């Protein structure tokens, strides 16, 4: 996708809207989405090199707020993760930043931004046993969640790390042995935080959804909601809509025509868990590096409303 390209898809009308970013990054810059909550989008972006910043933008009202990125105080040698979401029963939102100098280090640098005060709160905290924190995050009902990893290359999931905005405290929920597959993602499913685990074994591609629940004693546990045969769903998972998954895959391909060229392809598909079928929603490709001029566009959108409001 081009450095200044941003598209909003509306499932209800099938309309695709190309909007100008609220920031200009140019050819030397980049941006990524930290999170989406309550109609607002939080970006991390850079116009050049390590000049990173955060920005919260509402595409409907076109209002935006640029926010200092606390990771600039630490540099490249630290491993950052973020979280973004709205505080329940208020119009405030919060941004969470965590970084570690070394994966094995128990101490983390923690920062939380409050939109009401327009300030960052900083502290150093100790999370014994927490090694790698996956950058994939979910914000639900005033809590931010990440997956922690351990083992060789820290690829084995260990727990779901939770931060409560109200209590200003961390807690962990162990991932059961039965939920340790090959690839794991955190999503929201049926208004609950869900762990989606998928792998390939002698039975083919298999996936399972685990819900974060409370037991009789009020302790949070992961319980299996369902298990299903899947084709490969190793793409970047975006979200559940009803019981279906929306998946995004980014491909770089080469094609021989009159002139050889490379192109980047983004494919958004809907995966029906019950029937094991896929439905192409959007396919878009750009010549590389002459983005963002599209080569092909195909859209049969049904469910994308609500992810980004138009």
DSSP string, 90-130: SS-EEEEEEEESSTT-SEEEEEEEETTTTEEEEEEEE-TT-
Q: What is the per-residue pLDDT across 85-136, written as a single tens digit (0 to 9) for each?
A: 999 888 899 999 999 888 778 888 999 999 999 999 988 888 888 888 988 8
Q: How many CB atoms lie within 10 A of CB 201?
A: 9
| Higher pLDDT, residue 56 or 18 | 56
In whole angstroms, give the CA distance from residue 245 to residue 238.
Answer: 8
Looking at domain 1-174, which CATH architecture does it have? 6 Propeller (2.120)
Which pTM was predicted?
0.80
pLDDT for 245 equals 76
Percentage of the chain modeled with pLDDT above 70:
77
> Is the model's pLDDT at 296 over the cut of 50?
no
Hunting for tokens 């930290």 — which residue is that? 34
DSSP letter, residue 175: P
pLDDT for 257 equals 44
Q: What is the per-residue pLDDT across 156-211, written as a single tens digit (0 to 9) for each?
A: 889 999 999 999 999 999 999 988 888 888 989 888 999 988 887 777 788 889 99
> Is the model's pLDDT at 306 over the cut of 50?
no
> With the C-alpha atoms ordered 25, 92, 309, 162, is the resulting torsion angle positive or negative?
positive
pLDDT for 281 equals 77
C-alpha 110: how far from chain center? 19
Answer whether 85's CB lies under 8 Å from 140's CB. Answer: yes
Mean pLDDT of 138-154: 88
In whole angstroms, give the CA distance from residue 89 to residue 139.
Answer: 15
pLDDT for 7 equals 67
In whole angstroms, give the CA distance from residue 158 to residue 116.
Answer: 35
Mean pLDDT (the chain) is 78
In whole angstroms, give the CA distance from residue 38 to residue 60.
Answer: 11
Mean pLDDT of 143-165: 88
């Amino acid at each position: 996708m081009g450095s200044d390209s941003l598209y909003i898809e509306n499932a209800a009308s099938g309309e695709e809207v190309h909007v100008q970013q609220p920031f200009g990054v140019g050819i030397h810059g980049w941006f990524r989405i930290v999170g989406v909550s309550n109609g607002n989008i939080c970006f991390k972006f850079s116009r050049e090199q390590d000049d990173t910043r955060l920005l919260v933008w509402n595409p409907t009202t076109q209002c935006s707020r640029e926010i200092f990125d606390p990771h600039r105080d630490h540099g490249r040698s630290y491993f950052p993760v973020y979280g973004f979401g709205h505080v329940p029963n208020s119009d405030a939102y919060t941004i969470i930043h965590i970084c570690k100098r070394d994966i094995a280090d128990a101490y983390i640098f923690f920062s939380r931004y409050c939109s009401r005060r327009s300030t960052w709160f900083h502290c150093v905290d100790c999370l014994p046993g927490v090694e790698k924190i996956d950058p994939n995050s979910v914000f639900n009902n005033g809590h931010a969640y990440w997956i922690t990893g351990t083992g060789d290359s820290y690829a084995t999931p260990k727990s779901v790390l939770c931060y409560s905005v109200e209590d200003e405290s961390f807690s962990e929920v162990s991932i059961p042995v039965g939920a340790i597959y090959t690839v794991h993602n955190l999503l929201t499913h049926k208004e609950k935080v869900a762990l989606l685990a998928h792998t390939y074994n002698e039975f083919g591609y298999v996936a399972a959804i685990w819900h974060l629940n409370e037991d009789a004693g009020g302790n949070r546990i992961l319980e299996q909601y369902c298990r299903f045969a899947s084709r490969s769903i190793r793409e970047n998972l975006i979200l559940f809509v009803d019981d279906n998954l929306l998946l995004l895959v980014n491909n770089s391909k080469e094609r021989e025509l009159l002139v050889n060229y490379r192109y980047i392809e983004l494919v958004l598909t809907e995966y029906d868990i019950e029937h094991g079928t896929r439905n192409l929603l959007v396919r878009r490709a750009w010549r590389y590096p002459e983005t963002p001029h599209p080569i092909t566009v195909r859209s049969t959108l049904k469910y994308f409303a609500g992810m980004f409001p138009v």
